[in-house]
Amino acid sequence: MPRSLRALAAALLAAVAVLLGPPAQALDPAVPEPVPGPVVLVGVAGLRWDDVGALTTPALWDLSREGSVGVVATRSVRARGCPADGWLAVSSGNRAADVEADDRRCRTLRDPGESGVVPGWEDYLAAAGSASYGARPGLLGDLLARTGTEATGFGPGAAIALATSDGTPSGVHEPVPSEPRALQQAVRAAAGSDLLVVDAGVIRDPGYATVARLPTSSPSAAPDADLPGLDGGDDDLPGAESIVEPTRAQQAVRVDARIGAVLDGLAGHDATVLVVSLADSGRNGLQLAVALGPRPLGPPYEADQLTSGSTRQPGVVQVTDVTPTLLSLLLLQDEAPALPGAQMVPVPGAATGAERVARLLDVQQEAGAVTRVSGSYWAWLVLAQAVLFVAAAILLVTRGRADRAPLRPALRVLQVSALALGAAPVASFLVGLVPWWRADRPGVGFWSALLGWVAVITVAALAGPWRRHVLGPAGVVAGVTVVTLAVDAVTGSNLVIDSPMGAHRIMAARFYGMSNQAFALITAAGVLLAVVVADWLVRTGRHRLAVWAVVALGAVVVAVDGAPMWGADFGGPPAIILAFAMLAVAVSGRRVSWRLVLLVGAVGAAVVLGFAFFDYMRPVSDRTHLGRFLATVLDGGLWDVLGRKLSANLRVLSSWRYLVLAIGGVALTWLVLAGPRARGGGLLGAGSPLAGLQRSVPLLRPAVAATGAALTVGFLMNDSGIVVPATGIALAVPCLVAAAAQWRLDTRPEEAEVSVRDAPAARPSA
């Protein structure tokens, strides 16, 4: 094994040991004790914090002042969830959904009929079986029945949540009384149960009313005779809901009355109450969550904010966190298999309830605003990069004196534009430091902040003494990218979350650590930054120090990307290790071989498995998704995960935005670095104005090879597929263009003639 690779392997394994230390074994001597009163889940659908008011919803208003509050990401199997999807997530502890109707309208939930089976249960099982999340509807009900946990449910949603695998609710089930006073009395009578689940209703946006439907898995089956809404009455006529559909405010008042009745019925019982909006109202948005009461271990739910191990974001939880929370409150967590969610716990928040809710409203507003600007951001970025690719392919090979007009100003514009476009990705993260979503016109605020950051980074790249080096300005852009993403990962991923190129809370794909786009950017930028440092050290005769600089930077990037407490990225470390190993070998003067690639693969696998293993050994509530992924694999869910990732990769493979970046960037890079040499052709062939570029920067070709290898591995290992190389190219290729343009601008005419004459002999050794 080359000495540089041994050094990189030792540094990475040492980083694993230092960062994680010995496996944590939950040494807390405290023993969980059962909560004194019943555990109560009040589930709704479509309820947001902007629906809450002191006069219109007094019960929720009081809860927001007394309990732990948060917003809920309810993303299910599909982007837009239905009420059934949220209740199925409680039933299975995983993402699950109803069968999608042809008109994409949501099913009106009904109580079990004479058969006692939840209406549509066969549909729910069929939909879960066809999805790739491994959801098992009925998991919670089966667990309650097996452990003898007494449960009572009110309403159709509660029937789904408490249903066993055969579709019959565990424990006692009753319809929700129509009058709040009757509901209060029913809850008081059932308060002796261990678990009480109440369906408090739904809130739907105009035009998104639910409709009754027959089971789609058996279209000929007759509905239960006592199911209302399936008798062909006027309430099912097409368009009738547009006449009788209540406003959001009216629906919120009705939901609040039911919540108030439940709380009144629990008076005198030291109950632990979760009020959670489990699904969207039709349009996507973060939903409401409140928890109040004691916990088996740790501080009670009181005037705080909620978080969970699956989000690690103060004030933010997921719908898949509800089931682990219920099991933890019932002391049944050890009886359940590995679940993707985590227990909801209180963390300190603002001093007053008004301030806590105001922060949640701000998070809710930001999450909605970023989904509206991210599409246009990507579209304009791709179009601008496409223009840059074409302009670079023309200007960089235009023969003529680069010290005279019109070529010199054109190359200068190309260089500045390339640096600006290279800075655009990291600027999309830095824009989160400016509260643009609070502006009267959020779109204008976003673009103003984005262009401002692009201008700052571009000016910094061109203003310092580094501008005299051919890679200097591009190195500044890369350095800003690496520092920004690394500091953000170490400090809680505040910029990655809800940035145009990061992870969106509403999409509920990732709430902390390195997103796939951030991984691609820090990898491409890290390699470029390592080349800049190594090139400077090699020029000053410090070859060994150059190798160690590459090794050290690679170890830092791997640690930041893969450590569970920071980046928590499973697929990133092997790709990063490969890139920096290839670069370290090239700097040392050796050639990259297949044996080296295999050794690097083994080191990468050891590092990422080490991260996952040590995270898995921590208490369940402290695990990140690395440890939960390993737990899923040990429980036999590996193929479901691989199938879901493959499906996601295939789904984005045909996206024109990413294809333009990937294909265009690869083509331009190939023309610049590996164009055909026959008959003097190609951008680096004999007679090309760029023929001496690689002689000036010998590490340029190894850097491109290392970056390409890392992005390819990232493409294969992550569930974002072509998004990974496309995002890396969005940074790497503009920086390459900027370097090439600067080289032409700085090369004197006589030097260019020598470069052209000697070009065939100027081949990099690695």
The DSSP line for 605-627 is: HHHHHHHHHHHHTS-GGG--HHH
396 and 425 co-located in one domain: yes
Give the domain range for residue 692.
363-761
Of 320, 349, 378, the one marking the end of a domain is 349
Q: How far is CA 635 from the centre of its chain?
A: 24
387 and 345 together in one domain = no
Q: How many domains does the chain have?
A: 2
**Domain endpoint, select from 301, 327, 349:** 349
- CA 442 from centroid of its chain's CA atoms: 22
Would 14 be classed as within a structural domain?
A: no
At 665-717, the pLDDT tens digits run 877 777 666 544 434 444 444 445 566 677 888 888 889 889 998 998 888 77
User: What's the mean per-residue pLDDT of the chain?
Assistant: 84
Domain containing residue 81: CATH number:
3.40.720.10
Residue 502: burial class (beta carbons within 10 Å; 0-12, 13-18, 19+): buried
Burial pattern 700-715, b for ≥16 Cβ within 10 A else e, equals bbbbbbbbbbbbebbb
Q: Do 171 and 59 share a domain, yes or no?
A: yes
Do strands 305-308 and 287-292 pair parallel, antiparallel, or not at all (unpaired)? unpaired
Task: Determine the average pLDDT of the residues in 81-94.
Answer: 96
* Residue 5 confidence (pLDDT): 52
pLDDT of 766 reads 38
On whether residue 484 sits in a domain, the answer given is yes
Most confident of 69-83, 99-113, 377-391, 441-455: 441-455
- Could you tell me the pLDDT band of residue 328, with boundaries at 50, 70 and 90? very high
Indicate whether 28 belongs to any domain.
no
pLDDT of residue 225: 36
Q: Phi and psi at residue 480, in whole multiples of 5°?
A: -60, -40
Same structural domain for residues 341 and 392?
no
368 and 338 part of one domain: no
Please indicate, yes or no, if residue 5 is contained in any of the structural domains: no
Clarify whether residues 135 and 248 are in a common domain. yes
CA 325, distance to chain mean position in Å, is 22
Distance CA 754, CA 165 (A): 78
CA angle 595, 600, 601 (to 5 degrees): 100
Our CA angle for 49, 195, 169, nearest 5°, is 100
pLDDT mean over 135-153: 96
Q: Per-residue pLDDT for 49 more than 80? A: yes
Across 452-466, b (16+ Cβ under 10 Å) vs e yields ebbeebbebbbeeeb
Secondary element (H or E) of residue 344:
strand 344-347
Residue pair 205/46 in contact by the 8 Å Cβ criterion: yes
* Tokens matching residue 738: 């900027």
- Residues 618-632 have a mean pLDDT of 65
- For residues 422 and 678, give the distance between their C-alpha atoms in angstroms, rounded to a whole number: 32
Structure tokens at 324: 């682990």
Asked whether residue 554 falls in the same domain as residue 649, the answer is yes
pLDDT value, residue 133: 83
More confident residue, 765 or 656: 656
Q: Which pLDDT does position 264 carry in this prediction? A: 97
Q: How far is Cα 541 from Cα 551, in angstroms, rounded to an integer? A: 18
Asked whether residue 222 falls in the same domain as residue 307, the answer is yes
Summarised one tens digit per residue, pLDDT across range 173-223 is 999 999 999 999 999 999 999 999 999 999 999 989 999 887 664 433 334
- Cα angle, residue 550 at apex, residues 549 and 553 outer, rounded to 5°: 85
Check whether residue 132 and residue 244 sit in a common domain. Answer: yes
306 and 434, same domain (yes or no):
no
Range with lowest mean pLDDT among 235-239, 277-281, 481-485: 235-239
- What is the mean pLDDT of the segment spanning 130-154? 93
**Token representation of residue 394:** 């023309």
The token pair that represents 277 in the structure block: 């909006």
Mean pLDDT of 387-393: 89
Q: Is the peptide bond before 337 cis (omega within 30 degrees of 0)?
A: no
More confident of the two residues 612 and 253: 253
Q: Is residue 386 part of a domain?
A: yes
Residues 564 and 622 in one domain: yes
Average pLDDT estimate for 560-567: 86
End of a domain among 316, 349, 382? 349
| C-alpha distances in Å from residue 187, one per residue of 111, 196, 258 | 17, 8, 11
Instruction: Examine the pLDDT at 24 and tell me if it is beyond 50.
Output: no
For 739-765, the three-class secondary structure string (H helix, E strand, C coil) is: HHHHHHHHCCHHHHHHHHHHHHHCCCC
Q: What is the pLDDT of residues 253-276, one digit of tens each?
A: 999 999 999 999 999 999 999 999
Which residues contact residue 663 at a Cβ distance below 8 angstroms, ignoring those fewer than 6 apart? Answer: none
| CA separation for the pair 665, 660 (Å, rounded) | 8
DSSP-H helix ranges across 653-748: 656-674, 693-696, 700-717, 723-746
pLDDT of residue 603: 73
Non-local (6+) Cβ contacts of 47 within 8 A are 203, 252, 255, 277, 281, 287, 288
Same domain? For 651 and 741 the reply is: yes
CA dihedral over 167, 169, 174, 178, signed as positive or negative? negative
d(CA 212, CA 326): 30
Q: Which residues contact 435 (CB under 8 A, 6 or more apart)?
A: 362, 366
Q: How far is CA 391 from CA 423, 425, 475, in A?
A: 18, 20, 22
Query: Does residue 30 lie in a domain region?
Result: no
Residue 530, pLDDT score: 96
pLDDT digits (tens, 9 = 90+) for 590-606: 776 667 667 776 776 77
Residue 109: inside a domain, yes or no? yes
Would residue 116 count as lying in a domain?
Answer: yes
Q: What is the DSSP letter of 418?
A: H
- pLDDT at position 664: 80
Question: What's the pTM?
Answer: 0.84
Are 41 and 161 in contact by the 8 Å Cβ rule? The answer is yes
- The 10 Å Cβ neighbour count of residue 407 is 18
Task: Supply the pLDDT for residue 66.
Answer: 96
Structure-model confidence comparison of residues 334 and 17, the more confident one = 334
